[in-house]
Structure formats: C-alpha cells, structure tokens
Structure 1
C-alpha cells in the first residue's frame, strides 16, 4: 500500500462521527504527516473552535487546523478564493487528499496531489453528519467523548439540606437508565461539597471525637476548590454517559452555600458557575419534607432561607428552573415531565448555510 509524505483531510465535521474518524485514522496510517483542516462558515454550530478542539483531542497524532471557508470549491466563481484561504491554512505542499466524497478529487487536482478515496460506499460506518444532526441520540455510540459531553443535556437537582435532592437525582438517573440502549449509561454526579465536608469532619474528629459540622470551619478558599471539582466530575460523567446527565448540586449551588456559611458572595466560585454547561435546574422545596439530621446537615430553621435564596438567585441569573413540591411520587412525575420537555426541544445545531446544503 502506497505511503505519502503529507496527507490532507478536509471536512466540516459538524459534528465529527465514527465515519470521519475512520477516514482520519486511515489517512494517518498511510502518511508520514497528516493535516486535518476543519472548515467553518458564519455562525454555524457547533462553533468552528469547538470542532477544532474535538478533533485535536481525538486525533493527537495529526495537525488539526481550522479555517473559515464560506465559499464552495465546486462553484467556479469561488474556487480560486476558496483555494487561497485553504493554502494559507495549509501552506505545506500536499501529496495526497484523503476523502470519502467525490469533491475530494477536485481539491486534489487543484493541489497537485493524489486523490485517495476511503470507503466511498460508506458501508462500514452507516452514519452521516446530517443524520447525527437530525437525531444525535440514534447515533450516540458513533460519537467520541468530547462530542457527547457537548451534546449531553445536563440537569441539576438542588435544594436546602434534607429536602430530597440526592434522592431525586438518583431516582431520575434510574428512571432514564431503564429506557435501555444508550440510556442505560445515564449517570448521577454526586455532591462533592458533601464529600469534601465529610473528609474535613473526619480529619477534625480524629483530633476531637465530639466535633460536628459547625466545628469544621470551611474557609472562603475551600469553595472554589469544591466548585471546580464538582464541575470536573460533571464533565467526566458527561463524556461517558447517556444523552442526559443528572447532577446532585453544581457550582451555582456552591455559591449559595458560600453565602450561607460565610455571609458573602464568592467571586471565584461565581466564575466557575458562569462557565457551567447545565440546561435545567430542579429545586426541591423544603415544605412537606421532614428534616433528618445526620450530623452533616444544617438545622431545620435554615431550610426556608436556603430555599428562598436558591429560588431568587436562579431567577436572577436566568437559569431555567422547575420547583418540585408535594410527595416524592408527585415530585418525580414533575421532574420527568420537565426533563422530557428539555430533551424533546433540544436543538444542538444550526441549519447548514444554503451553499453547503
């Protein structure tokens, strides 16, 4: 099998899928060096920068670059302009263009390179970007981790202490996991703040056996650490989970906890919360839920304040929120309806520009 010095793969990768990755890996095996050029046009989604980042992570042994190419190579009125942009993005001479589509032959001709067709009938990977855009869930297993993480709908369950938030997050993960197929991988991200407090309390009790949560004394610097780790756990779960992810708390909830414990806001924690990629917040009301003191929870008298503060700040920051009230079964039904609505309306991609349809 002939090997080439410098190979080129060109595509929009909107989004990249198993067929694209087979093309890139085949080209890499047959070239000393490989450049993957990700095309962008206008304000289409996912953004060009995201697609470049995904392809760089998935194909670290190739040089991945991005370029705005708003014109069509097949249009004789725009071909020269297209090639000028392409040559600026890929200045090194190209020996072979790898493609699964006929238009790659014209590109190869213009570059003075060989045209190498890879699986032109696409029988190995029965997937296309158009099909993924139309129904990402149906092709979930054809997507790599960073793409799944970007497409996952993220639902946060939060509330005052002892209001059933953890129970609800786990119940929702179980409910959607029972759908079968890719849904069996539905995850619930635990509340890292609680784990952090448990560790601090255990360390303190090693010295003072009678210590309780009020003795832990969390510092302001602890909260960005908690928020950052919470965000990391969420991202890890989204990369390996189903199309929906449930989170028992998030960085936003950590900002409210900072207010509760220290009486002030935490800019560092707020910055982490602002970078979040969540889509829906389910607030568990304290009313109708008996308080259970396990040694790590606030007193019952603080629950109304926490519920009110969470609700106020959720509204103030424009976060999509549903309040869960009543007995557990009623709360679960309300939550499932809200999550189903989120999944049904989710649009992950803009329509292609006319010249790319």
Structure 2
C-alpha cells in the first residue's frame, strides 16, 4: 500500500497546494496531510485551514499539528527538530512517499524512510505562494477557490429600520475601500411582489434565501471586505411584525447570522425620515428600530451603533475596520482600534 504524506501551513490554501495534494492523491492509495498551527504567520485558526482540505478532499486524512515546530531553517538542529516531530505525530505509521515543493523534501523523506517526491518545485505549473496571496489577496484571488476565498473576506452588515441610512452607508463604505457591496434584496422583491404592502411567510423566506445566495456571489468579487445592507434577522423581524410568526427555515437563517458576519453596525434613527411611497411612516420606523435593537441584544450579537451624519458614521466604520482582523479576538480588535 502506498501511503503519502505532505505538510504545510496552508495560510491560505491555494491552487499550488491543491496541485500538490491532487498529484499526491493520484500517486498513492492513502494520503495524510499535516497542517501546522502557525500564529506567527497567520491569524486564521488551524481548524479553519484544516477544514478547507477536509471539505475539498474528503478522502484525505488531515492531522492538526498544534504543537509543531515554528522555526524555519536548514541547520542540522532545525532539521532534526522537524524530523523528530513528524516521527512523533505519525506514531509509528509507515509513510512510503513524501510530497513537497520545498528544500526539506530530501532530509524529511530520508528520516521517514520514504520516497522523495517533489512537485512543481520551481512554481512553474502554479506560479504563486501563500505569502504573495497574503500580501495581495484581491489581485491573486484567481489562485484561491471560492470555498477558501469566502473565508478570507470580512463581512460587514448594516442593520436598522427603514430610512436609517443603511444603503447609503454600505455603498459609500464600499466605494471608499475599493470593494463591492450587497444591496438589500428584500426591497427589490417587495416592490415587485407586495400585495397591500404585505408579503406571505413563504415570500419572506424566499427573500432571505435569495439575499444569502447573492451575498455569497458578491463575496467572490470583494476586495478583503464586503459591505452588506441588512441580513436575515431583519427579514425575520418583518415577518414577526406582519404575521406574528416566521417560517421555521427563516428562523434558522436568522439564527445563523452571528456566525455568518464579522461586524454588525446598527444605524440609528437620528437622521431625518425619508417618507417615500414604500415606507410606513416615522412612527413605525421608531418602533421597528427598537425591535431590531432588542432582537440583536436577545441574540447576543455584538454591535456598534452609528449616529450622526454620514461622514461621522463613515469615520467610525473606517476606524474600526482599519485594524480589524476577523480571526482575532474581540478584545484584540478593540485594543487595535484605539
């Protein structure tokens, strides 16, 4: 039986890594991929990086190396440190083929008693490196598959009652940061399908589902940040307001928003009310604003409240995003924005 092994940080996983993994899969009966925890290189958690490989290559055994050596070099001491670690984590399992694109292929394969299999060592087939992608993600996005790219985008959602500036702020923020934004699909749908200013439970579910589908598509066009006008919790609140209940599937989508988005901004209702034909009045805006705020608190969703002019709101958003890292702790992000 041919058992292959490859190792790496996969920070992020790119098509060069995939070329290596797929080559190894074609040459062996069984493949092991060891993913190193590398906080000195990336804040992307080890389970996220390992999860990409598990999702894309279900037949691969992925081992998460939480205590792997982080020092890099080609001295006898460093070589032995890495060799001993690999022998330890494999715990006596026999590897017949070691696949890599790096200088360490010779000494690691020798230590494992495996065949030294170099794959695209000169980066000719796939001319990219993880360092290059980290430094210029948007410019090199064609080297990253959608399953990975979406996890690298910071998703910022603006919430609030109608006429609280969400659309203007989302569009302006995207323009300011050279990226794209996701318009509120619910408004587009309502204008086409409303009957006596109401939608059915099924139609409200369809709004949330289509909004998420479009949002996923927009994420692949985003330059590090995607700005989003409303989410499924807003649609859920409309459903409760109209019908006193929501489709269970809409409730599930609303419940998943905490894990779907990285930053939540609640646009306050302190700006003048824009009384267009599709809105129901400033009094209803005040009530719905209170409901949205209460719902965020009930769901334990952390949020920033934006007040004042567009410029004042924009300044707060940009200041928070300036040092924000979606994979750092909330405390670390708050400290970095000071």
Class of the TM-score when normalised by the shorter of the 2 chains: 0.7 to 0.9
Question: 1:155 — aligned with what?
Answer: 156
Q: Residues 133 and 320 from structure 1, CA distance in 2 versus in 1: closer, same or farther, beyond 3 angstroms? A: farther
Give 1:150 shift. Answer: 1.4
Give 1:324 shift. Answer: 4.5
Question: 1:325 — aligned with what?
Answer: 308
1:283 matched to 2:284? The reply is no
Q: How does 1:14-163 map to 2 (within 5 A)?
A: 14-28=11-25, 31-33=27-29, 35-41=31-37, 45-58=43-56, 63-68=60-65, 70-72=67-69, 74=78, 76=80, 79-80=83-84, 82-86=86-90, 94-120=95-121, 122=123, 125-129=127-131, 136=137, 140-163=141-164
Q: SS at 1:213's partner residue?
A: coil
Q: SS at 2:220's partner residue?
A: helix
For structure 1, which segment, 334-343 or 107-116, has the greater mean C-alpha deviation from structure 2 after superposition? 334-343
* RMSD between aligned residues: 3.8
TM-score normalized with structure 1 length: 0.70
Q: Residues 49 and 175 from structure 1, CA distance in 2 versus in 1: closer, same or farther, beyond 3 angstroms? A: same
2:96 and 2:207 mapped to 1: Cα distance? 51
Give 1:196 shift. Answer: 4.8
1:344 matched to 2:318? The reply is no
Q: Which deviations, in whole Å up to 9, do the C-alpha atoms of 1:221-259 show, x marking residues without a partner?
A: 765554454334323322342211111111232343234
Question: 1:183 — aligned with what?
Answer: none
Kept in 2, the 8 Å contact 1:17–1:144? The answer is yes
Kept in 1, the 8 Å contact 2:237–2:292? The answer is yes
* Structure 1 residue runs without a partner (length 5+): 178-185, 202-210, 351-357
> Of 8, 18, 23, which residue of structure 2 is paired with 1:11?
8
Kept in 1, the 8 Å contact 2:83–2:111? The answer is no
Question: 2:214 — aligned with what?
Answer: 233
Give 1:49 shift. Answer: 2.8
For structure 1, which segment, 79-88 or 103-112, has the greater mean C-alpha deviation from structure 2 after superposition? 79-88
Q: Residues 127 and 341 from structure 1, CA distance in 2 versus in 1: closer, same or farther, beyond 3 angstroms? A: farther
Kept in 2, the 8 Å contact 1:72–1:79? The answer is no
Q: Residues 120 and 77 from structure 1, CA distance in 2 versus in 1: closer, same or farther, beyond 3 angstroms? A: closer
Q: Which deviations, in whole Å up to 9, do the C-alpha atoms of 1:157-182 show, x marking residues without a partner?
A: 233224443344334334433xxxxx
1:308 matched to 2:286? The reply is no
2:270 and 2:149 mapped to 1: Cα distance? 34
Q: Which deviations, in whole Å up to 9, do the C-alpha atoms of 1:260-288 show, x marking residues without a partner?
A: 32456885454222332231325153631
Q: SS at 2:260's partner residue?
A: coil
Q: How many residues align?
A: 314
Q: SS at 2:13's partner residue?
A: coil
2:86 and 2:320 mapped to 1: Cα distance? 39
Question: 2:335 — aligned with what?
Answer: none
Kept in 1, the 8 Å contact 2:266–2:304? The answer is yes
Give 1:291 shift. Answer: 0.9
* Structure 2 residue runs without a partner (length 5+): 71-77, 329-338
